Amino acid sequence: MAAGQYENAGEYINHHLVNLTYGRLPAGTELCYGSGVADTTHWTFAGCASEAAAMGFMAFHVDSLMWAIGLGIFVMFFLYRAAQRASAGVPGKLQGFIEMLVEFINNNVKEVFHGRTASIAPIALTVFAWVFMMNLMKLVPVDLIPYPLELMGVEYQKIAATTDPNVTLGMAAFVLIMVVTLSIKVKGWGFVKELCLTPFNTWFLFPVNLFLELVGLLAKPVSLGLRLFGNMFAGEVIFLLIAALFAAGIFFLPLAAGLQVLWAIFHILVIVLQAFIFMILTVVYLAMAQEDH
């Protein structure tokens, strides 16, 4: 078991929660494992968590980007192939499943978004399928992919992109861009007036109104991203705790195996539910963006 090579469960869990990070390492940074300090500022892969922290904002979580983009491409290709194989006759199992999914999401969008849903429903479908696939990676055993990569020299690898707040907040930021864009498209200068005259309908208090409205506007995507991250990250930590239990001794194997199965079954519901919540709140925020106070 991969957990057995670490001194304790804390070291094992901390190792698995570090992303494969590529960034700008400042000169003078203390290098990993007491190997000295960085002589120059240069771009490199972080060798440990302290180097990743020293890179600060100028860093990329390569594993999160790779898995998120890869799964996004897979989702688009899967739906594209399903659309190509669709027929007007008796649908196959795949076509039947896709039609049920599309109808389910389309009905939810129509209930929430009171306007033309020609572009909103595809956005909702994309969001749901993408978030679901990223969440689904949490059901892959925690050492199945990272441990072989570690043997090949890749020290860190997190395959569940939604356990990275950069990914979830990045998606939430794009939702904010869509909300602002739709508000400007539908309301024009009325959107600015709405920001300045709500909740107090007087220009004298427009600084207070603007502050309150901007806080409320920014709080929506932040809460959207943090909600998804918090649920997925907590689930990942529990999976790691159960995995560490396998290395505690032969007497703990039945308990660890039972907990692993029970938590995986329960987490199937969490994975689907969190994808649905992210999707439906995205539609709700877009619906609010086109409505006047």
| 4-18, 100-114, 127-141, 165-179: range with lowest mean pLDDT | 4-18
Q: What is the CA radius of gyration of the chain?
A: 23
Q: What's the confidence (pLDDT) of residue 5?
A: 64
pTM above 0.85, yes or no: yes
- Distance, C-alpha 225 to centroid of its chain: 7
Find out whether the peptide bond into 207 is cis, omega within 30 degrees of 0. no
The tokens for 198 are 């709500």
Q: Residue written as tokens 């039972």?
A: 258
pLDDT tens digits, 14-71: 888 889 999 999 988 888 877 788 888 889 998 888 888 899 888 999 999 999 999 9
Determine the average pLDDT of the residues in 146-174. Answer: 91
Among all residues, which ones are annotated catalytic? 223, 227, 231
Transcribe 103-170 into DSSP letters: HHHHHHHHHH--S--TTHHHHHHHHHHHHHHHHHGGGS-TTTTHHHHHHTT-------GGGSHHHHHH
pLDDT on residue 173? 94
Q: Which of 143, 163, 155 is nearest to 44 (CA)?
A: 155
Backbone phi, psi, residue 91, to 5°: -75, 150
- Three-state DSSP state, 100: helix
Residue pointed to by tokens 């990676």? 137
Q: 76-114, pLDDT tens digit by residue?
A: 898 888 888 877 777 778 888 888 998 999 999 988 888
